[in-house]
Chain A
Amino acid sequence: MGTTPNVIKLKVNFELNTPNGLRRVIFGLSKDASSGTTVIWTIDFQLFERAKKSDPYGDAIVTLNVEVDKALNSKAEKAAKGLTAAQSAHALGPAADDAKAAEAGDIDEEEAQETIQNTLKKK
């Protein structure tokens, strides 16, 4: 007989769509409780675009994975229970803007990752 499984990683994906229906951000928050002693939060940020609403979204045009600073663990825990309006605005706004700017080489990837991580700081 099997035992009750223990969760070592939990990931929740929040799908954010822009009002014009042409862009989508998947803001994935995963909680990694692997060792049982430390918890690592990671943001998986993906940006999708399409030319027309009737077109399907293809592969993500930008994918960034950010390991959350441990000082923000409590904020990540809270964000996993749902993003606030300010967090959603930041994810779809500055985070997406910088993700694409990093992809285009206009800014460093580290800067984009920091902007993405700043989503958690919004109230």
Chain B
Amino acid sequence: MNRRSTLHLCAFAGAILLLAAQTSFGQTQEAIRKTELGNLQNYYATRDPHYANIVTQLPNIQAALNDLTSAQSCSSQIETALRRTRSAIQSSEQPQYGNIRALVSIPGEDDENRLAKVLACVNGLQDPSLAQNIARLQTLTQTIQEEFDAIDLAAAKRQAKAALDKVIENDQAAGSCAGIDLEQQGFTVRNVRIDDPFDFLPWIKARQRRAVVQITTLIKDKPFTYTSAAGKALEIIEAENFLPDTSDMRVKLRLELVTVANCTAGNVDLIYRIYSTQIMPVLSARPEQRVKERETPQEPAGQTTVETASPFHFTPTAVYDSTNLLAGGGRFEFTPRKFWKLPFKSAVIKGEASSRMHNVYAALEGAYDADQTGGWLAHAEWLVNFSHFSLPTGAGDIRGGHLSAQFDGVTKPLLNGNVSLRFGASLEGGNRQTESGSLLLAPDTVPNAGFGTLKLYGAVDSRLRNHIFTASYGLELGSVGPAARVDWHKHILDARHQFWYSLGNHHLLDVESRFTLGRLRVPGEVPLPERFFGGRNEEFFIASDAWQIRANPVIRAIPGSRFFQTTEGAGAREFFSYNLTAAYGIWRRTLVPEELTTDDDFKSELDGAITTVTSTLQNYYSSKDQHYTNVVAQLPAAQTALTDLKNAVAAAQTAHPDQADLFKACTRAVSGGLRRINSAITPQGADPYGLIASVLSDDPDEIQLLKVNSTCEVDLNGVLHDANISAATSRVETLRKAMLAEFKQIDENRAQKQATNDMAFTRRTLNTLFNDVNIYSISPVFVFDVARIGPHSGPVGGTRYGPGAGIRFELATTAHFTLGYAWNVNQGPGEGRGNIFFAIGVRDLFH
């Protein structure tokens, strides 16, 4: 019996022995553990060398006791001691230990002491015929007593404790597959599963089903083999391509894991885990994107823009407040493979409407993604849009409709990869109307008018490990009617900060702050709806989902657009608002299983994917260096020189048939170099930068020009002394040195810095997606708003405070909603005491 089995048996025996006691006497777990510990301690005592010495003496003791059996008066003591001795001889480990322990004297224990009791009895007989046998037993008893006392019981106890801890740990991990060679031990595959965190998306589900069917046929209920389970099955998964190309430019990574679990009764479950994502390098620095990471992580992870996805997208929404009432709506998007010959890639209709309000938007949208190696522009968007709205103020509605055309751009990351810039312009034309009601007109304000505006706007974005900061500024120049004059100009500043941090394990604290400032100057006149109306309703400076510049004072404690009364009349000329939303995820499920997010290998390999893209980008920037261009310019000359050398070597070869090996080595070096240089001049499947780096290197593993000199000039021509070969080799060597000198001057540090900067946001986004994002979470929410409009006097206009609380539920697979209430602490006329706010967004119904 091996040692491991023995340990298990010891612990098992202890547990069985104590089971009855546990049942009968309600013995505690601690008592069970203590007894098991004692049992194991005895086992380890038997491993002590002194114990072995006792065992060797047992036959002698048996013989000595047999020699005393003539002492009839002590037959009882002798017989008991003999029985203990025989049992000790016939047993091993703990039973043997117990019998030996019964033979010797243990301080404080008087019930056994069998040898001492025999000696006491026979010595009391005073029989000279027994003296020699008694002396012999006396000596043996003293010997084994000394050996027994020398056993290191403290060490045995330590070993027992360690072993028990191990046994408990193993018992807890029953079914663990750790350290088992499943193939060798004849396990059978019980179940097959493929895990992909985005398997709620239909195209991923379809791939998953197909792959599971194929893998099940291949391995289920069959003997486990590593070739099938980890090799062929993974090939099936790869063939399904769980991360197809997207319709936009992204950095891709794919990680696949084959895992085994539940190794019980000779069966094992196989779980294939796929973690793939594709990130838009600069756009992930926008706060709008961060909201999506939280609500619908599949979008920033690039799982919804894959070319195999449905061209139709529809996400229903609903919002409620006590002025707007319940408004339903949604966002419908059609993204065909080709938008006929128009420069657009999608058509979008979105909006919400209730019996009291509506806000609708229809647009044709186009976009351009520069590849990673483009210039300073990373991304551009353009759209043609029609909007119409009617918002209740409680004293009459403000309405408007307009057509707009706009263009926006985003730069690559700047300032060490910490900042990117956005810019844009928009032309709008339409009308603004005011419902007749009790809205008082401010000076220079008209209730209804046609209008035209030019808007110019820009933003700075930054994304750090746990922060996103963005500040947008917008300038609006407007005129009443189609005129080339400025009747009003509006300035908007909208700054957002988002902070998130995992407290505990993926319990995310999410804090969003937003500060918005607006000023309106009216040298001519302005339509009333162009003034600032505040409340829960949000108005945006431009029509874009991807860039939301808030353009009115938002306070969730005041429903609709009821915060508008100033000393001038309806609609403010200036405002600021600050909105704080803090949420803490108390219940969540992580996007990536927790055992992986805490696995150092997994984390470093994820990071490695971005490192690899960065390295490739670095080579691109190196290839833009002027010194690299100088190298490339010399390639044709090197090609000619190598061709000349090849011809010279071929010409000399027939005259020297005895130097075949030297010719072969030289020809091989020349042909290899020529192949690399030909490929670098006219790429056939490879990137010239790597080819040039290889051919100029001094790495002996490479096909390099250095070998041409050593094999042709030094080795071959050292024997031949051929002037033509010497001249041709010299030309090759001169060119090699010239190219190498240029290549070494390429500013690699600069290239590396540029590449690192370009990928900074991507790296940070990847960390967030894999470490901070939950597939669902429930969070209590605290809100606090401050808003001020002017001009003001007394309760008209001025500052309002709106503390509140609510709950947020985000389930990437289905929906996200927020429900809460905010109090209007110092309410003005017509604003109400507070507001219930509710918003729900449902997952894309076509997904």
Contact = CB atoms under 8 A, between A and B. Distances in A.
Interface string A83-123: 11111111111111101110000100000000000100110
Contacts of B258: 7-10
Nearest to A123: B699
B616 A12 contact: no
Taking each of B256, B686, B748, which has the highest tally of chain A beta carbons within 10 Å of its own beta carbon? B686
Contacts of B375: none
A64 interface: no
A57 B595 CA distance: 35
A41 B615 CA distance: 22
B595 A11 contact: no
A92 B686 contact: yes
Nearest to B371: A21
Interface stretch (B247-255, B327-335, B653-661, B784-792): B247-255
Interface stretch (B462-470, B605-613, B639-647, B807-815): B605-613
A17 B616 CA distance: 8
A17 to B, nearest CB: 7
B679 interface: yes
Contacts of B178: 6, 36
B752 A85 contact: yes
A101 B254 CA distance: 28
Given A56-B307, A80-B608, A91 B230 contact: no
Nearest to B688: A93
Nearest to A61: B685
A10 B602 CA distance: 9
Given A93-B694, A97-B691, A14 B752 contact: no
Contacts of A90: 690, 693-694
Interface stretch (B513-521, B584-592, B617-625, B726-734): B617-625
A71 B5 CA distance: 37
A29 to B, nearest CB: 9
Nearest to A17: B616
Contacts of B683: 18, 23
Given A4-B261, A86-B693, A96-B686, A80 B702 contact: no
Given A3-B262, A32-B226, A81 B694 contact: no
Interface stretch (B180-188, B196-204, B404-412, B528-536): B180-188
B687 interface: yes
B440 interface: no
A69 interface: no
A3 B254 contact: no
A14 B122 CA distance: 87
Interface in B97-113: none
Contacts of B748: 85
B604 interface: yes
Contacts of A32: 226, 230
Contact of A83 (B372, B612, B701): B612
Contact of B257 (A9, A47, A86): A9
B229 interface: yes
B175 interface: yes
Interface of A: 2-19, 21, 23, 27, 30, 32, 34-37, 47, 49, 53, 56-57, 61-62, 80-97, 99-101, 106, 118, 121-122
Contact of B689 (A53, A89, A121): A89
B221 interface: no
A19 B755 CA distance: 13
Nearest to B601: A10
A19 B620 contact: yes
A24 to B, nearest CB: 10
Given A6-B178, A9-B256, 13 more contacts: A6-B259, A10-B258, A12-B255, A15-B254, A23-B686, A27-B612, A32-B226, A82-B607, A82-B610, A88-B612, A91-B690, A93-B690, A96-B690
B483 interface: no
Given A34-B183, A36-B181, A94-B703, A2 B230 contact: no
A97 B230 CA distance: 30
Contacts of A100: 684-686
B234 interface: yes
B764 interface: no
B177 interface: yes
A46 to B, nearest CB: 10
Contacts of B422: none
Contact of B609 (A14, A57, A91): A14
Nearest to A23: B685
Interface in B698-755: 699, 701-703, 748, 751-752
B260 interface: yes
A93 B252 CA distance: 20
A18 B689 CA distance: 10
Taking each of B257, B271, B307, B748, which has the highest tally of chain A beta carbons within 10 Å of its own beta carbon? B257
B179 interface: yes
A64 B676 CA distance: 20
Interface in B351-383: 371-373
B299 interface: no
Contacts of A23: 683, 685-687
Contact of B616 (A2, A88, A97, A106): A88
Given A36-B180, A57-B245, A88-B615, A97 B271 contact: no
A7 B479 CA distance: 67
Closest 8 CB pairs of A and B: A93-B690, A82-B611, A82-B608, A5-B259, A100-B685, A89-B690, A97-B686, A96-B686
Contacts of A27: 612
Contacts of A84: 611, 615
A12 B702 contact: no
B825 interface: no
B675 interface: yes
A73 B177 CA distance: 24
Contacts of A88: 612, 615-616, 618-619, 690
Nearest to B174: A3
A11 to B, nearest CB: 4
5 contacts: A4-B173, A92-B690, A93-B689, A93-B694, A101-B675
Contacts of B694: 89-90, 93-94
A30 B614 CA distance: 21
B687 A89 contact: yes
A34 B615 contact: no
A4 B594 CA distance: 11
B176 A8 contact: no
Taking each of A10, A37, A62, which has the highest tally of chain B beta carbons within 10 Å of its own beta carbon? A10
